[in-house]
Chain A
Amino acid sequence: MKKIAYFDAGIITPEEILIAADLVPIRLLGNPNIGIDKANEHIPPTHCVWARNILEQAIKGLDSDIKGVIVTHGCDCTNREFDIWLECVDLDFMFFLNAPLKRDKTSLKFFVKDMKELITQLEENFNVSITNEKIIEAIKLMNKIRNLLKEISEYRSKMILKGSEFHHIVKNVQQQDKKEALKMLEDKLEEIKTKTSFTDKNLKKIFLTGSVIDDTEFIKFLESLGYQIVQDDLCIGTRYFWDIVDETEKPIKALAKFHLSKPIYSTKVPSQKRFDFVKDLAEKYNVDGVVNIAQKFCEPILYDHPFMSKKFKELKNPIPYLFIEMEYNRESYKQLATRFEAFAEII
């Protein structure tokens, strides 16, 4: 089966359109086990390491079933890197999706146009017809997946499902055929329902936010220090499934609306909305603290951090907040242990 990959820091790529084109959407994610070598010939070392990691994989060659890449407007890194991809990645189909910065009527109209352009180019390139009916069908499939993920997600706060297990599940969904994903989730839910909660009651409950965190080992590392992630607003997490797409509206507009109303990421404005979402969930899930992780050189998160920090302090009932700048390699996790342990002690 033909696959199409997307490189997207903010998870705003409309997978439904790709599914409707009979392509399997695969989200490109980093691999902390590889060294960066080729990508360093294209991108300076002071630029986001996660994005460089993905370019490295792409230069060396992606899965041969992957027939094209969509890069979605994210941050200054990903935006300008698209042209570099065109220079050095050997793929026939490359599309830059200009996901709008703002969330209003004008942006919505624009986003619809940009999605329609994506459809036109996919149709021309892959010789397919992407009908409204097919998109609606894909929306229904994806909504089922979203609902299941949301339901499964709740077992984290019930202390039945580990944060790392959940992370692994969402990651899989983003990287596999969606019909298979649906089946996997249905089975998983049944399995989880039979489980009882962990015995260790001393786990610190945290809300995890920040840059793309795609290494499940990192979540496991946090767990080894006594944390349980009960909620998040990550792209491999809540932002992927929090809301569902309106099945009654015109499909492309519904998709655009969905993406412009989902939990906001630091690459978009305003930050106040990101804070409000995190705060509301942190309070609802009664977390012990919020952990905000920035990948090294991740500007959107770095700009937001002092604001977030201040806002959590100013709350009537302040929520403990920890900010960490992180390297994208497993060796470096260990060096962060002391800071996480110190945080666990104060919360």
Chain B
Amino acid sequence: MSKAYVKKSKLLKATLGLKNIMGRHFLAIEQAIRDGTPTAWATSGTPVELLYAMDVQPMLPENSATISAARKYSQKFIELAEDQGFSYDLCSYFKTNIGAVESNVDVTIGGINKPTFMLSSDVICDTHVNWFQVQAERMNVPHFTIDVPHVVSNTNNRQYNYFKKYVAEQVWELLDFIQEITGHEMDMERSKEVAKNSYELSMVWQDIYELRKNIPCPISTKDTFGGLFPLFTMPGLKAPIKLYKRMYREAKARVDAGIGALEQENYRLMFEGIPFWYNLKYFAMLEKYGAIIVYEPYTYAFSKFMNPNVTKDMLLNNPIEAMSELMLSFWYIYDLKTRIQKFKETVEEWKIDGVLLHNNMSCRPNACGLYDLKRRLGDDYDIPCLIIDADMNDPRKLNETQVTNKIESFIEILRERKKK
């Protein structure tokens, strides 16, 4: 393998196109509002594809919240929400959204328009439902929730089957709800087209992830943290597929040339949780140790087609049932037993040296189980893990010095292990 390393962790050229794609997303929203086309807020984990299939323009408040953070506005919005009585301990995406809406700010810093209706689900967290309930009441818009049963470590097949049915029934109800509000009917042909695009988008993303198995890893979180957004704002559209294909081609060329995203790759890491959007630079700090994050369940999770039962054929023939089943079974909501197993497999397949686990103060559902995950990975599989306490959108909850010290000690452990 050639040793032609590039100098520093380098962004793919294709990733620069992300800005344009996301720009198109926001333009489409603007256009919809201007034309009076129906719009909907949706939480991640909901079948956004169906909104596209019914000519409803989706808006993802979580995505907007990350923009506020990246533009260093999240703290201000969070504090505004707290002034209104929302606790310091609540999810900072939610509070960012409350503050941003209240301040009526521009989309470029995380503002978001009033939608025609809201669509939430408790598939990832109950916060999503509480969040939209609060905002639907404040903004006076209709709100539909899909209740997704929790698949736990001892759920059996019999249960899984009636869970699927329950979700599918609600998705059909959602279609009625949308039709009633917007007058738009479900067009099955369009829905198949959207489903096909969504599938393709996800598959390219998964292919990109496959490339990350290579040593050196061709792309870093500079490409994936932001690169994930089209997956959950624009699943079903063609435009992001092209972008992902460009990313793939460029990464593949790097692999073929033996070039890694890092000049010198010493340690391969996995990062569990949501990154600190207000301080993405922080992750670049890892480079000075020659450490690169090669896998993030969070960014991988949104390429939702991971359930082998949901084939492309099923998706095209029964899009509703397929979407419903996917809601029950994607990376981000794996039960603890599956989560441990998946981590173990991922560590092996992506040749990972250590795992960073973000104990996110905002995200209790994701943080719950991290301690057991760490212990099991360490005890049963000898995989080193480090827990970092922080928050994805609230800079007040990241103690940089403390986290840096912890990471340094962790790298030291990895260094010692390499020596053996």
Contact = CB atoms under 8 A, between A and B. Distances in A.
Interface of A: 41-44, 46-47, 73, 75-77, 79-84, 86-88, 94, 96, 98, 100-102, 106-107, 109-110, 113-114, 117, 267, 269-272, 294, 296-297, 299-300, 302-307, 309, 323, 325
Given A96-B150, A98-B149, A303-B130, A44 B359 contact: yes
Interface string B121-162: 010011101110110010000000101011011110011001
Contacts of A88: 372
A86 B368 contact: no
B162 A76 contact: no
Given A106-B170, A267-B126, A303-B86, 11 more contacts: A44-B389, A77-B368, A98-B149, A106-B166, A113-B166, A269-B145, A272-B137, A297-B364, A299-B127, A305-B87, A323-B85
Given A44-B371, A96-B152, A98-B149, A302 B86 contact: yes
Contacts of B368: 43-44, 47, 76-77, 80-81, 84
A86 B153 contact: yes
Given A299-B130, A300-B130, A43 B371 contact: yes
Contact of B372 (A42, A297, A306, A307): A42
Contacts of B129: 101, 269
22 contacts: A41-B371, A44-B359, A46-B364, A76-B364, A76-B365, A80-B365, A82-B150, A84-B368, A86-B336, A96-B154, A100-B147, A102-B147, A113-B166, A296-B89, A299-B89, A299-B91, A299-B130, A300-B126, A302-B87, A302-B89, A305-B85, A323-B85
A221 B367 CA distance: 34
A87 B122 contact: no
Q: How big is chain B's contact interface, by range?
A: 35 or more
A299 B159 contact: no
A86 B154 CA distance: 8
Contacts of A300: 126, 130
Interface string B360-389: 010011011111100110000000000001
A313 to B, nearest CB: 11
B203 interface: no
Interface in B33-89: 84-87, 89
Nearest to A46: B361
Contacts, number: 140
A307 B365 CA distance: 23
B90 interface: yes
Given A43-B371, A101-B147, A305-B85, A299 B126 contact: yes
B24 interface: no
A87 B372 contact: yes
Contacts of A87: 336, 372, 376
A297 B131 CA distance: 16
Contacts of B158: 117
B126 A82 contact: no
B416 to A, nearest CB: 25
Given A44-B359, A44-B371, A307-B134, A79 B365 contact: yes
B145 A102 contact: yes
A347 B90 CA distance: 30
A76 B127 contact: yes
B169 interface: yes
Interface in B78-127: 84-87, 89-91, 94, 122, 125-127
Contact of A96 (B155, B162, B371): B155
Contacts of B242: none
A283 B384 CA distance: 58
Q: Report, nearest first, the 6 A-B pairs whose CB atoms are least far apart.
A: A83-B336, A80-B368, A306-B85, A303-B130, A101-B147, A98-B149
A80 B369 CA distance: 7
A134 to B, nearest CB: 23
Q: For A76, A323, A325, which residue has the most chain B Cβ atoms within 10 angstroms?
A: A76
Nearest to B397: A46
Contact of B87 (A42, A109, A271, A325): A325
A73 B147 CA distance: 12
A110 B145 CA distance: 15
Interface in B325-342: 335-337
Contacts of A270: 133
A205 B153 CA distance: 46
A117 B156 CA distance: 10
A44 B370 contact: yes
Nearest to B170: A106
Contacts of A96: 150, 152, 154-155
A106 B133 contact: no
Nearest to A266: B130
A75 B154 contact: no
Contacts of A110: 149, 162, 166
A87 B337 CA distance: 9
Contacts of B130: 299-300, 303-304
A270 to B, nearest CB: 6
Contacts of B170: 106
Contacts of A109: 166, 169
Nearest to B364: A76
Nearest to A272: B137
Contact of A42 (B86, B155, B371): B371
Contacts of A81: 368
A17 to B, nearest CB: 16
A44 B170 CA distance: 34
Nearest to B368: A80
A106 B169 contact: yes
A93 to B, nearest CB: 10
A4 B152 CA distance: 20
Given A79-B150, A83-B335, A96-B150, A299 B364 contact: yes
Nearest to A73: B150
B173 interface: yes
B152 A83 contact: yes
Contacts of A117: 158-159, 162
Contacts of A101: 122, 126, 129, 145, 147
A18 to B, nearest CB: 18
A101 B85 CA distance: 25
Contacts of A272: 137
Nearest to B173: A106
Contacts of B159: 114, 117
Contacts of B133: 269-271, 303
